[in-house]
Amino acid sequence: MAANFWTSSHYKHLLDQEDVDMVNALDKEKGITLEDFKLIKMNMTNYILKLAQQVKVRQRVVATAVTYMRRVYTKKSMAEYDPRLVAPTCLYLASKAEESTVQARLLVFYIKKLYADEKYRYEIKDILEMEMKILEALNYYLVVYHPYRSLSPLLQDAGLNDLNMTQLTWGLVNDTYKMDLILVHPPHLIALACIYIASVLRDKDTTAWFEELRVDMNVVSVPRYF
């Protein structure tokens, strides 16, 4: 992994929201709207989470898998890259990238256990073939920095590192992966936004702390995303 976020491939490949919300021409031809596009990605995020719970991998692996899946669809169409295959393949790839390798056969086993629909029934060879396509779509850039890394030191610095606030902010960070925030914003800003929301929900005054950090509150308080 790069020494820090600002020198990483993750930083260099941050996108504008308009680029993330661009529906591929092939998908438009199939009648997929922007609302459909977002909903499919959210459903696939939940699919990845369900599989991850079955194979028992860390939340970081889930977050990386979801990031890969969302990155893929900034470049490729859902018509060509079936989300029902991309989702488990991204989990498979993320498990290797995060050094928590899950066997493809185990994913296939749980896919068949969870879904009776034949459209989900892919085999090991399908996952391995899609893995190569996803690697190419990602240009082999697999480094992902997550908000979790910044969360604990920021909470401690703010004096908010009690169990209740830690659990709440962690849960809020998990929820951000239902959207495309990780493709658009630096992870520490996502962490700060979650701390801000948690402090409002728990009636904690963090105004002075945010001012001391010299954070632009117009960036941190992003209610349109939550």
Enter the DSSP assignment of 73: T
- Is the pLDDT at 3 greater than 80? The verdict is no
169 in Cβ contact with 226 (< 8 Å):
no
Pick the CATH number of 5-137 from 1.10.472.10, 3.20.20.390, 3.40.1050.10, 3.40.50.720: 1.10.472.10
* Rounded-to-integer distance, Cα 94 and Cα 138, Å: 12
Per-domain boundaries in the chain: 5-137, 148-225
182 in Cβ contact with 176 (< 8 Å):
yes
Q: Is 148-225 a CATH 1.10.10.10 domain?
A: no
- Is the pLDDT at 139 greater than 80? The verdict is yes
114 in Cβ contact with 88 (< 8 Å):
no
Average pLDDT, the chain: 93
Condensed to tens digits (0 to 9), the pLDDT of residues 29-59 reads: 999 999 999 999 999 999 999 999 999 999 9
Condensed to tens digits (0 to 9), the pLDDT of residues 167-211 reads: 999 999 999 999 999 999 999 999 999 999 999 999 999 989 988
Condensed to tens digits (0 to 9), the pLDDT of residues 57-72 reads: 999 999 999 999 999 9
- Is the pLDDT at 220 greater than 60? The verdict is no
* Rounded-to-integer distance, Cα 159 and Cα 222, Å: 22
Residue type, 160: L
Q: Minimal CA–CA distance to 107: which of 47, 177, 44? A: 47
